[in-house]
Amino acid sequence: MRPPMSQRLLALALVLPALLTILLFFVAPLGASVTGAFSLDGDFTLSNFGKSFELYSSDILFTLCIAGLSTGVIGALAVSIGGYLTLGENPLAVAVLRWLYRWPLFIPFIVVGQILRTFLARNGLMNNILIAGGLLTPLQTTSFLDWRGIVIAFVWKQTPFVALLVAGAMASVDRGTLEAARNLGASRLRILLEILLPQVYTTLAVGLILSFVTMMSVLSVPLMINAQSPTMLTADIAFRINAYGDYGVANALGLISLLMTAGAAAIYLRHAARERAR
Amino acid sequence: MSDPAFLQIRDLTVGYGGNRVLDALSLEVCEGEFVALLGASGCGKTTLLRTIAGFADPSEGEVVLAGSDITRRPPDRRGMALVFQSYALWPHMTVAQTIGYGLKLRRVAKPEIARRVAEMQALLGLEGLQERKPAQLSGGQRQRVALGRALAIEPQVLLLDEPLSNLDARVRLTLRHEIRALQSRLGITAVHVTHDREEAMVMADRIVLIDRGRIAQAGTPDRVYNHPASAFVAAFMGAENVLELRGTVTGQDVHLAAGAANAPAAVPVHGRNLTSGRFEARFRSEAAVLLPADAAPVDGALDLVGVVRTVSYPGGLWRHLVVIGDRDIHVDAAVAHPPGTPVTVRVPSSALFLFDAAPTASPPPSSP
């Protein structure tokens, strides 16, 4: 039975504020940005994309590689941390790790960039420690303020977030399933990879995709750590707008990042759907 | 059962925090024997099983398997297989992968794994389900898969932690017999934890009754059922009717003094360690006989006088609630006696379990 007209109007009135907020502050700006990517002086054109690929194709590739590599390293570290928190048998080590690993969560990206800039520079703290420890001579030192610095910053900042999600999911796995494997003779590494990880795979994937999207949108880290070319798309977008007021190319680059993150989400959704169908 | 001490548990003490769960418990299990650990929740039976499996650390005592001390050996190197109450199946693995996992860990060749998995499936009635995942199986099938996973590695000892308690009644009855039949066919030593008396009775060669971290009694089902060693064991094994009697022990007989609701009687001691004075008497509702109030007394039985208060029919026999002095007892009979009927409840000496009454507030025992 259909509800009476007055009730349907009431329902519409109830969702209207939320709907308007989304339309006004999210859909409209996104739409303007998308159409802006396809227009030059009011005409429809693909020239913004042509220029983007001509000038920035190495940066697009660089961005994809940096975000992809960081995501991989974050995943490996988050699984290791979550695995140790779940399977570790030294209560003190588990307690210390549980207390320590979340700290970077509360530090903003710009501060991470700042900290690592002084840490990773050629005459920075890391190299000074290595020299003091006799592991390097001053001549052998190199600066890590390039792509490696960005990856280190992203991993440092995002691992706790994914580890938090993964550790939570791991803690809610039936311990009997872990004990059953142990009982049959499985080592802890095998239990982590073959029993625990498959049961938290969805959570890990969600955490990694959210991290991937976050990293794609960080401007401060590439600006502070990697002030050279190639760099990440966020730096290029800021440069197009600040230096040239070129919103067309900036919008096109934005749309390209959006397609990259959407691609990551699509891969995950397809995989999840296949898992469910099995 | 050639080796009398295949699995030995010696003075095992296990505690969590300040709470002592097992208290210097010792137990020996013969090779090929099926032992049921029976007790109420929290008595320590699951802790004992987990300690044998290596998942709980004893503070004292040792676990010895086939002559070697395995007390500190990690759970993955004990040659034991544990079947969990929650099944603990892996949601991402198929039936075949699950049953074959232990063999894969042992680096058994793939064709051999496939052969053994098929064999297990046939043994457990899981044919055709090899590609299913746990979510696509019924409760009984899940527990069979868990059993197959445990049996596939041909463990020296099979440990069963209330494996049937999550199943519905009919499946439980079938699986009881299946597990027992499999165990005797494969000749595996099995330790089975349960709180279900009947399950322990029908499955086990020997029942070990555990009470507050200690063994209350260990013996064959028949022995534990008919010769309970303590009031606790009698109560747990279903002798719920309880009375307090006084009497004196002379030679091979116990002379029960007449009380407000009972005639004097003489019953054999049956090798029990009794001291004259107050006794706690226990018997099962189906072991007593309901007779007319004026029934003539006989030798070797205790007669109690009382009045029927209620009668109900749970099936098979009529269940009477009879008031005996200040106590209510249950008595089953083939014919119903209406409420208000004065009756004699006759308890044969073989069904009457006598124990020294608990020493709390006990008056000095009268000398014989």
**CA of B19, closest CA in chain A: separation in Å?**
19
Return the pLDDT at B101. 95
**CA of B80, closest CA in chain A: separation in Å?**
7
**Span of A73-87, A149-163, A232-246, B11-25 with lowest mean pLDDT:** B11-25
Looking at this protein, which amino acid is placed at residue A259?
L
- pLDDT confidence of A63, banded at 50, 70, 90? very high
**Span of B1-5, B184-188, B248-252 with lowest mean pLDDT:** B1-5
Secondary-structure percent of chain B, ordered helix, strand, coil, rounded to 5: 25, 35, 40
Do A183 and B149 lie within an 8 Å CB cutoff? no
With a cut of 50, say whether residue B362 has pLDDT above it: no
Do A185 and B76 lie within an 8 Å CB cutoff? yes
In chain B, what residues touch A177 (CB-CB under 8 Å)? 88-91
- pLDDT confidence of B42, banded at 50, 70, 90? confident
pLDDT per position as a tens digit, B182-216: 899 889 999 999 999 999 999 999 999 999 999 99
- pLDDT confidence of B365, banded at 50, 70, 90? very low
Return the pLDDT at B367. 39
In chain B, what residues touch A278 (CB-CB under 8 Å)? 133
| Percentage of the residues of chain A whose pLDDT score is greater than 90 | 62
Measured between alpha carbons, how far is A208 from A222 in angstroms, rounded to an integer? Answer: 20
Chain A contact present for B104, CB below 8 A: no
Return the pLDDT at B364. 45
Dihedrals phi, psi of B92, to nearest 5 degrees: -95, 0
Residues B208, B210, B214, B215: what is their CA dihedral angle, to the nearest 10 degrees? -20
Measured between alpha carbons, how far is A154 from A157 in angstroms, rounded to an integer? Answer: 5
Return the pLDDT at A85. 94
Supply the DSSP string of B188-225, one letter for each residue.
-EEEEEES-HHHHHHH-SEEEEEETTEEEEEE-HHHHH
- pLDDT confidence of A57, banded at 50, 70, 90? very high
Q: Can you list the domains of chain A with their CATH numbers?
A: 53-277 (1.10.3720.10)
Chain A contact present for B76, CB below 8 A: yes
Per-chain mean pLDDT for chain B: 89
With vertex at residue B331, the alpha carbon angle to CA B328 and CA B332, rounded to the nearest 5 degrees, is 150
Sheet holding B289-292, edge to edge: B289-292, B342-348, B301-312, B318-324, B327-333
Region A234-246 average pLDDT: 92
Do B75 and A182 lie within an 8 Å CB cutoff? yes
End-to-end CA distance of chain A: 36
